[in-house]
């Protein structure tokens, strides 16, 4: 079989068969965990090494070229059918959060690996190299800093990261040494973006939208940028029985009113071009007595949108409203911005192409935006990047209950194949 004979989409029975292999590999690699009974695989651990080795072995069974880079990322290559240095890269991360699931990250490594094995076993190759990468760190669960693997290949690695320390006092530099790497050579992991036609990441959705729409997959148009704040409202504590209702400076009442308004305002953006998600996830009430008027309240605010200016306008508006409420209740506000990340757009033409592929396979050409961060955020800064989301049960992720179905994997494999076959052209 050559490229011309390879069906525009994988024959259904082939995709179904390969999907079973993907599920088997995910199950197999779930065994490489540092905490028995849990999915827990962190950067530069023996389990990370065993995972890289297993991916390489599986690839070598089909005579694919494999290597590990200087940041501990595992690579697999289906060589082009001609002399070229152009490549497309498919990948995701191999690390997990503690007590995580079996599919977050690894699905986006294993699914393209199985496809490459199928291509290699059937003598199929393309005018460009097709690479699969398994990034060693995305979650940041060992050293605190996230996206270390993709940062290394994108030239965004920060030399101060060598001093990061894990929970046992091991520095990143020491961990690299134990892994068989040299931290002073991480820059060698950097790729030449001029040679990359596209980066494509398959990832479970980690949210409920696809399940609600009864769809297996969607394209992804971008990754939301987030801003976070720590807010304190300072009022006056007092006796619940002696301070009249008209004389109170109750910080919790103002905070509660604001949270309800904030939620309503975010709900009202659902049908906007750029919806905003706003969350108060933490509330601390002082002094916290049953018979004491709340003197002060600490609350967190997390606001996200695929469009930074939609997000920032929303924040400015809501913080102004908070000030009004604080004045009306006689409260003082303290505000600290604790986190900022810019929104990242996926490559427009590749995302349109992927949306078309999704439409052909499912009847619904849907593109979602991602509220969670991904390696694709980093790659998008240097190469044309897009993603494919796959449904996961209940939208649950970062949890042992994470679950996917083989039928959806089959559709995802067909989508990846169509994208590579038809949408990536030199
Ligand atoms: Zn992930």
Ligand 1 center from residue 201 Cα (angstroms): 10
Ligand 1 centroid distance, CA of 92 (Å): 7
Structure tokens belonging to residue 373: 């961060």
Q: Does domain 3-223+343-423 have CATH number 3.40.630.10?
A: yes
Q: Residues for the chain: how many in total?
A: 426
Q: How far apart are CA 345 and CA 30, in angstroms?
A: 32
In the 8-state DSSP scheme, what is residue 130? E
Residues surrounding ion ligand 1 at CB below 5 Å: 104-105
CA of 253 to the centre of ligand 1 (A): 38
Within a 13 Å sphere around the CA of 116, how many CA atoms are in the beta-carbon half?
32
C-alpha of residue 203 to centroid of ligand 1, in Å: 7
Intervals of the chain under pLDDT 70: 1-9, 425-426
SS3 199: strand
| Predicted pLDDT at 2 | 44
CB distance 247 to 369 below 8 Å: no
**Alpha carbon of 28 to ligand 1 centroid (Å):** 18
Cα 104 to middle of ligand 1, angstroms: 5
Please tell me the distance between residue 328's alpha carbon and the centre of ligand 1 in angstroms. Answer: 44
CATH class assigned to 225-340: alpha beta
DSSP string for 286-324:
ES--TTEE--EEEEEEEEEESSHHHHHHHHHHHHHHHHH
Report DSSP letters for 324-347, one per residue.
HHHHHHT-EEEEEEEEE---EEPP
Cα distances from 253 to residues 88, 242, 257, 321, 330, in angstroms, run 55, 18, 6, 14, 12
Distance 248 CA to ligand 1 centre (A): 47
Cα of 314 vs centre of ligand 1, distance in Å, is 28
Determine how many CB atoms are found less than 10 A away from the CB of residue 36.
6
Q: Which pLDDT score, from 0 to 100, does residue 5 have?
A: 40
Interval 189-209: pLDDT, tens: 999 999 999 999 999 999 999
Is the peptide bond preceding residue 287 cis, with omega within 30 degrees of 0?
A: yes
CA of 310 from ligand 1 middle (Å) equals: 26
DSSP at 125 = -
Cα–ligand 1 centroid distance for 101 (angstroms): 10
d(CA 377, CA 223): 7
Cβ-based neighbours of 296, under 8 Å, separated by 6 or more: 232, 233, 234, 235, 237, 251, 285, 286
Residue 423 to residue 388: CA distance in whole angstroms: 14
pLDDT value of position 424: 74
Three-class SS of residue 81? Answer: coil
Domain ranges for the chain: 3-223+343-423, 225-340
């Amino acid at each position: 079989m050559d490229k011309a004979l390879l069906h525009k989409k994988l024959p259904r029975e082939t995709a179904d068969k390969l999907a079973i292999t993907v599920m088997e590999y995910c199950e197999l690699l779930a065994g490489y965990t540092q905490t028995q009974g849990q999915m827990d695989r962190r950067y530069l651990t023996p389990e990370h090494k065993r995972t890289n080795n297993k991916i390489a072995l599986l690839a070598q069974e089909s005579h694919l070229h494999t290597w590990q880079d200087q940041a501990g990322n595992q690579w697999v290559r289906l060589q082009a059918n001609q002399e070229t240095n152009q490549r497309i890269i498919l990948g995701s991360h191999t690390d997990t959060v503690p007590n995580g699931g079996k599919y977050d990250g690894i699905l986006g490594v294993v699914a393209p690996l199985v496809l490459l094995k199928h291509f290699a076993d059937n003598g199929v190759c393309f005018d460009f190299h097709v690479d699969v990468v398994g990034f060693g760190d995305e979650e940041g669960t060992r050293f605190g800093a996230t996206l270390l693997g993709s940062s290394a290949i994108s030239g965004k690695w920060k030399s101060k990261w060598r001093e990061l320390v894990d929970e046992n006092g091991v520095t990143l530099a020491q961990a690299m040494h134990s892994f068989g790497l040299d931290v002073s050579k991480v820059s060698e992991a950097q790729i030449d973006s001029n040679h990359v036609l596209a980066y494509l990441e398959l990832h479970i959705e980690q949210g409920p939208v696809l399940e609600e729409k009864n769809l297996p997959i969607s394209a992804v148009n971008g990754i939301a940028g987030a801003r976070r704040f720590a807010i304190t409202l300072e009022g006056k504590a007092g006796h619940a029985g002696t301070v009249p209702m008209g004389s109170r400076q109750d910080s919790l009442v103002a905070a509660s009113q604001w949270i309800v308004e904030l939620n309503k305002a975010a709900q009202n953006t659902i049908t906007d071009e750029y919806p905003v998600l706003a969350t108060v996830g933490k509330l601390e009430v002082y002094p916290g007595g049953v018979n004491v008027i709340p003197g002060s309240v600490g609350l967190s605010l997390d606001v996200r949108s695929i469009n930074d200016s939609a997000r920032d306008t929303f924040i400015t508006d809501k913080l102004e409203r908070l000030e009004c409420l604080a004045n009306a209740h006689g409260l003082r506000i303290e505000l600290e911005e604790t986190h900022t990340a810019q929104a990242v757009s996926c490559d427009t033409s590749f995302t349109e192409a992927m949306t078309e592929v999704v439409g052909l396979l499912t009847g619904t050409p849907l593109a979602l935006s991602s509220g969670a961060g991904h390696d694709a955020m980093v790659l998008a800064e240097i190469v044309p990047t897009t993603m494919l989301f796959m449904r996961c049960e209940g939208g649950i992720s970062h949890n042992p209950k994470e679950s996917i179905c083989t039928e959806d994997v089959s559709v995802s494999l067909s989508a990846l194949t169509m994208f590579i076959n038809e949408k990536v052209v030199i």
